[in-house]
Amino acid sequence: MKEFRGECAGAGRLDAMRSEVASLPGSPERPNEDWVAAVPSTSDGGGAVVLLDGVTPPVGDDGCVHTVPWFTARLGGALTELSGSRRDMPLPEILSLAIRRTADAHRDTCDLSHVRTPQATVVLARWDETRVEHLVLSDSALLLEAPDGTVRAVLDDRLDRVPDEVRRSLEATDRLRNRAGGFFTAAADPAVAARAVAGTTPRAEVRALAALTDGASRWVELFGEGDWTDCFGVLREEGPDGLLRRVRALETDDARVGGPRRWKLHDDATAVYAELWDR
């Protein structure tokens, strides 16, 4: 289990953040295709969270000589750098520029028009002393907790709206991938950034936030162990590693008793939890 714990304070500011991260690969035989960063911004007392869930391609050609971890590392690195260095740029524009930079890194060696070219879901959150910005693209989740404990889930549910019978067919799913009327991921087209679920919340209305890949959000969305408020409570009390351990235990028990079949028993699972402090 990869984990980071720490407190980060802006120099000369009253703002601070404490963040925890945990990530587990779906299989010891495969590299983890998730990517995550939680960073402070000493320039304005704020910070940022970047979370990617790389899309595992089916066996066969995807037009690219690179791996999904190669892609998520470059896209995630670009998003992290731009979130800090371009505070003037809205998050959809940051995602668009990061996609373009990543595409430029391999457009001479790869067929970026291939529908299965490396791609990822995206969660971005960025805050300063006045506001919290957010962006979600595809089926990872962002949770925002208010000072009174109310939890709001920011979700892009377009993939969930694709009928199960369509999702069981790779060809049918590909026809909806990054297409109007279907669902969107960050791949090689910067224009998909405009399709993301994005918005802004006053800083005073957010006490803490969390981001989850779908391997971690199974606790709510697949196993129904609680709602998003309950999930946030687990993150606060047990940390991201506690949530992931719970998910793995549920998956193992589900397989033992012959529960609902899924594409894979364990998925890459990543969660990040951040408290936004005013001291």
* Secondary element (H or E) of residue 17: strand 15-24
Instruction: Give the pLDDT score at 7.
Output: 40
**Token pair listed for 59:** 């066996």
Residue count of the chain: 279
**Token pair listed for 207:** 């006490």
Q: 51-68: per-residue pLDDT in tens?
A: 999 998 888 788 999 999
List the Cα angle 51/54/59 in 5-degree steps.
Answer: 170
Q: Count the neighbouring beta carbons within 10 Å of the beta carbon of residue 90.
A: 15
Give the alpha-carbon dihedral of 121, 258, 161, 119, to 10 degrees.
20
Distance CA 134, CA 144 (A): 10
Instruction: Give the pLDDT score at 104.
Output: 98
Instruction: Give the pLDDT score at 12.
Output: 38
Q: Where are the chain's structural domains?
A: 2-278
**Which residue matches tokens 């587990």?**
24
Note down pLDDT in tens along the chain; length 279 residues.
444 443 443 333 444 689 999 999 999 889 999 999 999 875 677 899 999 999 988 887 889 999 999 999 999 999 999 999 999 999 999 999 999 999 999 999 999 999 999 999 999 999 999 999 999 999 999 999 999 999 999 999 999 888 888 888 888 988 999 999 999 999 999 999 999 999 999 999 999 999 999 999 999 999 999 999 999 999 999 999 999 999 999 999 988 877 555 557 789 999 999 999 774
Instruction: Give the pLDDT score at 148.
Output: 98
Distance CA 214, CA 226 (A): 15
**Overall CATH class of domain 2-278:** alpha beta
Distance CA 227, CA 229 (A): 5
Stated pTM of the model: 0.92
